[in-house]
Amino acid sequence: MWLEEQALAPNIFVGRHNFYDAEPNADFAHQNVLYNRPGHNRLIIGSFCSFAQNVRFIMSAANHPMNTFSTFIFPELDRDFIEELGMTKADMPIKADTVIGNDVWIGRHAVIMPGVHIGDGAVIGAYALVTKDVPAYAIVGGNPAKMIRSRFDQATIDWLEAFQWWQYPDTMLDQLVPLLTKVDTQAARKQLEQLAKQQALAS
């Protein structure tokens, strides 16, 4: 299932070619983006991301007050309590936007908490609970998720972040795919750099 073909809430923004491993009639916005109330914050997803089944994004509307003696949602017990609350909306813990980079792979049943930023090329292990930002091209796993290792050395990561292959048009995928999937990454990098030079000269 391609996310860009789904009907999404107005605060969910997705790039191109994001694949979710689900049934064709799955409703990503309702089944996978939980406690979403547009106006609180946004979910921003880059391009060429892969999501396994049952990935969950928790949005800020799920928050409860934690700087008061009770965290209970009293208005759900009685709507009249809204006028009695000793706190305002400004007192609630509001998180920033949740941002998923490009070429990110998120494993089965992973949970992404509000306000988390996941860098380009990162891999999130199955059943991980991601509560903190994840660097580009990092592999994380566990509950709470912790760094396992980087996919590449820092120099290569810096180059990939500058190259940004996902910015190239679809018309170039036939040239990019053989290089992006090549096991000999050093040779692939040289060819990608040559391709970038050719594009710069042609533009």
List, by residue number, the catalytic residues: 64
- Give 175-201 as a 3 state SS string: HHHHHHCCCCHHHHHHHHHHHHHHHHH
**How do 98-100 and 43-45 pair as beta strands?**
parallel
Between helices 154-163 and 185-202, what is the axis angle to 10°? 30
Q: 93, 113 in Cβ contact below 8 A?
A: no
Q: Are 138 and 150 in contact (CB under 8 A)?
A: yes
Residue count (the chain) = 203
The answer to whether the peptide bond before residue 144 is cis (omega within 30 degrees of 0) is yes
SS3 of residue 75 by DSSP: helix
